[in-house]
Structure 1
Amino acid sequence: MLLQEKVKTLEPMYSNKATALFGGKSSGILNWNDLPYPHWYKMYKRLLGNYWQSDEINMSSDIKQFPELSKWEQETFLKIISLLATLDSSQTRTMLLLSLYAADPSVQSILAVIAQQEAVHNESYSYILSSVVSLEKQNNAFEIGRTNPVLLKRNRALMEQYNRFVKEPSVENILKTLVYSTLLEGLFFYSGFAFFYNLARQNKMVGTSTMISYINRDELEHGRFVSELIRAALAENPELNTEGFANWVYAQFKRSVELETEWSQYVLSDVEGIDLEEMAGFIQYRANKMLRMIGLSEIYPENVRNPMKWIRAYLDNFDGTKTDFFEQKSRQYTKVSDLNGFDEL
């Protein structure tokens, strides 16, 4: 297994256009008008267009409503926030580490933006908790991510692969880490997202749900780019683009679906408004969607379409097949400024 070296900062003897995404040569000078994959400039611009900050969200109603939630709802709220914080904490670092091995400067830049957005997500979870519970309860909530046995089981394979890449940064481990990144971005968040969207449709904790919608939108865009990066890297490394690698991907998806289903049944049991069978089908639907984006076949033919009809109201604006959220520019996510005018929102 050939281990990759971290890309040097500036190598003026090489051309500006990278010879390969990973393991290639380039000067390190980024010219957005001369890229091996020109459409990634649009990806970069879309990511920048999603910029937001947590304190833009009005949490005043959530501050009043949180004490009115049942004790069980409050505990579930804290568990899921801990789950999301755990995932985004690891993702911030992993995206930065991956960028160190990307010979293509455009990939370095896009991964840096993704890492920055993951850091914003993580800060937003602290912002949510600081709005509704004491500092002691905030700190206790963040301990759940490293102590809850069901959550640890769910995250084990992900963390093992991320740490394997740190120890052995080969192109193969980079690709496997990118695959697990699509699972994190496109699958592991969704039981948690469903909980907050379900509260919102009961007019509970709408500020938190709005924050989650911003995060959800970002994660979908991250998953889209990482999927494209996987396909491009496999095309550049045909020795890795094998049936064996595809079978490994399928195995990870199947196992991840099982673990996410188990987690959802644990954390969402008895949640009024969420059918656990529908949730399991939705998880399979998300797996099918991510596999298609990577370029592989669906493995759950019974859930090619979204079986959780109610959640479409929260997802279809930016993840549906009918319209492209980023072309549509939904006003739901437009920020107030001197340019757009408050009255137009």
Structure 2
Amino acid sequence: MAEAPARSLLGGDPLAAVELFPLRYPWAYAHVQQAKHNTWFPEEVPLHDDVRDWHERLSDEERRAVEMFLGFFNPMESLVTTNLLLSLYRPITAPEVRLYLARQAWEEANHTMAFEYVIKTLPVDRARVFALHTDHPDVAAKEAFQRRLIEGWLVEPDISTVEGVQRLCHNLIGFFVVLEGIFFYSGFALALAFRQRNLLRGLCSIVDWVLKDESLHLSFGIHLITTLLEEHPEIMTPAFAQTVQQLILEAVELEERYNRAVLPQPIIGLSADALNGYVRYVADRRLEELGLPAAFGNPNPLKWMATQLDVPELVNFFEARNVHYEVGRERS
């Protein structure tokens, strides 16, 4: 068997032609193969029952929560696309890893179109929804957190120094682990709580498909970050580890404040306290996936969410495939 070419994640020719085999990072190619099966289009989901729910079954507080959900997700999905293309694609040159980044960028664009489809179909206050990420302080604070990670890297996009690779790693953690693995998971729980009450089933079907994409992005991101740390062990100093932990704790604080704004009182059987308990539970899992100690010790207060996360475990991409929504299979 031919040996894998001597290359690494970073620092190759950014204009080189794609030459995949022999693979150096088979985990990246496995994610590409899985992502191909997870191809879907928003307009496959009818939303007429959701429109009826909006008019006839949702309270004012529930409609407001949906608008808050859409007002965060719609701009953040496009920000992820921007980060992939502007922050990551140039320094990360391993071809199989780039292949997945390109596929993910398509998926994020598809998510943006999916939430736009929901916004233009439901009778939401469109101007309010699109203004939330700038006008509402708790939505704006989360966006500012993410933009800081892009700007910090783009100001000095240098992988020749320890500090430069640390900035890149911060970006990876802030987007793959925090945005997609904590902020988005919290939003998914809010949205899917409506289905627990047999409401907004079309929106929740779209959220199902987005969630499965994002779970694959999270898995890929954890692999990417841990591989970067293996290839650049010099960056994982005690001070850097503390900075990473503080980054995640800051994100938890932002998300908890946002959830209290979304849920000033319980709706659809969900309170801000329960949702924030779930945020802390998820944040502990993310810290552990990065090799850091858990910070909160919270049990999962939303046991029903476990049934929503029917994706392969991080270590099982060579043995298992997600068969619940794949090209050529009927979707529920």
Aligned residue number for residue 284 of structure 2: 288
Unaligned runs of 5+ in 2: 159-164
Structure 1 residue identity aligned to 2:63: Q
* CA distance 1:27–1:169, change in 2 (3 Å): closer
Alignment partner for residue 314 of structure 1, among 308, 312, 325? 308
Whether the 8 Å contact between 2:27 and 2:223 is mirrored in structure 1 is no
Aligned residue number for residue 3 of structure 1: none
Matched length: 318
Whether the 8 Å contact between 1:199 and 1:205 is mirrored in structure 2 is yes
Structure 2 residue identity aligned to 1:307: P
Aligned residue number for residue 91 of structure 1: 80
- TM-score w.r.t. the length of structure 1 is 0.85
Are 1:78 and 2:78 matched, yes or no?
no
Aligned residue number for residue 46 of structure 2: 58
Secondary structure at the counterpart of residue 235 of structure 2: coil
Whether the 8 Å contact between 1:191 and 1:279 is mirrored in structure 2 is yes
Aligned residue number for residue 41 of structure 1: 29
Give the share of equivalent positions with the same residue, in percent.
Answer: 26
Inter-partner Cα distance in structure 2 for 1:90 and 1:77: 20
Aligned residue number for residue 196 of structure 1: 191
Secondary structure at the counterpart of residue 320 of structure 2: helix
Runs of at least 4 residues off by over 3 Å? 24-27, 328-331
Inter-partner Cα distance in structure 1 for 2:250 and 2:35: 30
Secondary structure at the counterpart of residue 230 of structure 1: helix
Are 1:211 and 2:199 matched, yes or no?
no
Alignment deviations for residues 217-264 of structure 1 (CA, whole Å, 9 cap, x no partner): 111110111111111112211221211111111001111111111111
Whether the 8 Å contact between 2:37 and 2:326 is mirrored in structure 1 is no
Moved more, 90-99 or 38-47: 38-47
Secondary structure at the counterpart of residue 23 of structure 1: coil
Secondary structure at the counterpart of residue 163 of structure 1: helix
Q: Which has the higher contact order (CA 8 A, sep 6+)?
A: 2
Alignment partner for residue 146 of structure 2, among 151, 154, 158? 158
Secondary structure at the counterpart of residue 194 of structure 1: helix
Are 1:262 and 2:275 matched, yes or no?
no
Whether the 8 Å contact between 1:89 and 1:119 is mirrored in structure 2 is yes
* CA distance 1:327–1:36, change in 2 (3 Å): closer
Inter-partner Cα distance in structure 1 for 2:141 and 2:75: 13
CA RMSD across the alignment: 2.5
Are 1:273 and 2:266 matched, yes or no?
no
Alignment deviations for residues 92-138 of structure 1 (CA, whole Å, 9 cap, x no partner): 1101121122121222111111111111111101101111127xx32
Inter-partner Cα distance in structure 2 for 1:48 and 1:224: 15
Alignment deviations for residues 293-325 of structure 1 (CA, whole Å, 9 cap, x no partner): 22322222x22x42312323323x23779x98x
Inter-partner Cα distance in structure 1 for 2:313 and 2:17: 37
Inter-partner Cα distance in structure 1 for 2:313 and 2:262: 26
* CA distance 1:43–1:257, change in 2 (3 Å): same
Inter-partner Cα distance in structure 2 for 1:269 and 1:193: 18
Aligned residue number for residue 101 of structure 1: 91
